[in-house]
Structure 1
Amino acid sequence: MILQKVNALKGEITVPGDKSISHRAVMFGALAEGTTEITHFLQGADCLSTIGCFRDMGIAIENDPLNNKVMVHGKGLHGLKQASGILNVGNSGTTMRLMSGILSAQTFSTTMTGDDSIQKRPMGRVITPLTMMGADIKSISGNGCAPLEILGRHTPLHGISYHSPVASAQVKSAVLLAGLYGDVPTSVTEPYVSRNHTELMLKMLGADIENQGNTAVIKPEPDLHAEKITVPGDISSAAYFVAAGLIIPGSEILIKNVGINPTRNGIIKVCEMMGADIKIENIRNTDTEAVADILVRHSELTGAEIGGALIPTLIDELPVIAVMACFAKGKTIIKDAAELKVKESNRIDVMVHNLSLMGAKVTATEDGLIIEGGRPLKGAVIDSNLDHRIAMSFAVAALAADDSTEILGAECVNISYPDFYSDLKSLVP
């Protein structure tokens, strides 16, 4: 994929459905009684992996890709069946970690694997608490990574009070989902609050779950019932258009129907900290998954310090925030973000390497990045490392950089945003 500098981006766009919510809608719909209707479902490779795994476990799922609509015919908490073979989650860490919680309580045994990237990502963070609950789950290779083997059991899991060392919605969700099958309530306490899509959706489907500060508590064996779920636009996908609109002179972009859940809207807060011309309009659904339209215009940005409790609310957006920081006046410091090292790639190292190729002054730290802004970027050959967030971030950088930029492995955006490049092109006047 070769991209050239553009003079401006203008127009209106609707981004695909939220990846995190799309995953959960399929999973929780499978565990509910009745048919869950999901609209604006994300037809990305990761979410299709989730559909494939639950079909393999006996759940009838109708997918209408043209209309982004999915019907999940749930069979209740105890309706899953043993797959005939190994479950393959592809590149989806969300699928593997959340399903680990569900499968740890089943009467049948399961083996799960994924692609080369998944087989390098840490699964010990869910193996540890699930083992505390009585699950028989192990890394087959003994390195804390996939493939995972989960043996069936015929007694309830043990409810626990787990203090997670990391603020991770995937870890929290795995434990809470296992807690559905516990003997007593289960709680998860995090150092900072991670995204709460699991809690909101399970509550909507009938679970007895509540948040108390940094702690989420769930009671076992609820009667989950099917609902109609409309997936909001993914703020992580919207972030690329937000960044492009801010850094490319003459730009004005309206991004419609974006989820602005407070546990996910850190990108908006960072833009405001950096002095961006960004407006949140038409806010609705504030009692569940809040949705709004986001209007951005080109802005003179200033550097900022990004860390602490803000990080879990924007962990996936940090690569494109680093690109924004290159165009800001002064220094931007990203800290408390060691989690970037264990994503689809080591995003700290990959961002430093690729931004440096484009002429940025950027330094890696143990848990983040330091970016000296205000230096013009130039085109380069960028290796995406088959990481969708990296590919999309450098597509944005390319549109504001001198000369042409080539992105290797650009097709990896199919994981979360198959139409990304065509949507980007639609905004070029």
Structure 2
Amino acid sequence: MVLAGRAPVRAPQNRRSGGAVRKTARIAAVATIAALSLAACGERPTDEPETATETPTATETEPAEQFPDFKACMVSDSGGFDDKSFNQTSHAGLEAAAEKLGVQTAEVESQSPSEFDDNIAEMVSQGCNSITTVGFLLGDATLKSAKKNKDISYSIVDFAYEKAPANVKGLTFNTAEPSFLAGYLAAAKSETGVVGTFGGLNIPTVTIFMTGFHQGVQRYNEDNGADVKVIGWDPAKPKAGSFTNDFESKTIGQQTAEEMITQGADVIFPVAGPAGLGGLQAAQDNDAWGIWVDTDGCVSAEEYCDILLTSVVKGMDVAVEQAITDAASGTFSNELYVGTLENGGVSLAEFGPNADVDDELAAELEELKAGIIDGSITVG
């Protein structure tokens, strides 16, 4: 696949003479560039050790069957289903299943981790046939409920069990791959030679983005004899990373990004859900670039589209819809969902309208993508 991007008049890749000048220079003319696919990866959670295998990322055609007696339910992580990030994208999968399959639905939003057990129990009490939980932090609560209710199919976004029960399916995403491409792009666009990233919590499903981003910057430096620095994350020093310890406070995210901008960062890559919107706000206020996560920011957070270089996208909606489809049709299994650039489970969204990505840089990103897919470039 190719990335339908926008190719404005080319601007210098590593120099900027000031905020007003850059915003004038970044007037976009629309054209077609290259597209990067979606995907996901992980281990196969069965009772016997096995290697990971990939499963289909989407229903190829609308199912002929309808399942009006089947009830598909969902429990969110904190942040709610309007977080413009992973909860909202996962919820779109539930809505798609309801539309295509005719299933009944129920849902509950979690305000804090202390509510996870009770919220899942509420879905059980409502007679749900499948329950999807959204987020790494729901791993323990999901497993506990699944062991008690073996007649219910459970799927969980962003969590993999070493030995999953037969009724539990993990939906994971190797976001390090498109984040690598985003890091390379960020380094190419930086004029200060400093880019920044921060997370909501120091957990694997957050730091996987940050590690891929860091590695992409290092690859740019290696290929171009550059010395672009990453502040906020170094995989070799994980305890020193920058985290808001909050996925909800836009104010904290904005303050974190502003600190990075004062240190010279002119590209901000927040991996913090709604708190990350504060990072985009800081970038917009300070004439810096932003890169969004989980979904295409020019769609979910369009108020910041003018400063977005791109977004690192996870196909959570597609994976959730497929898991519900499998449960309703009787083909559900505990085989771990694996998304990668190769199978389309993760991707780099089209370039922002003002990103000024020229053909040469777009071609470099395509070559890197191909290298990741064929294994010649190791990411993560």
**TM-score, normalisation: structure 2:** 0.29
Q: Identify, as 1 or 2, the structure richer in strand.
A: 1
Q: What is the TM-score normalised by the length of structure 1?
A: 0.26
Structure having the higher helix fraction is: 2
Larger RCO, structures 1/2 (Cα 8 Å, 6+ apart): 2
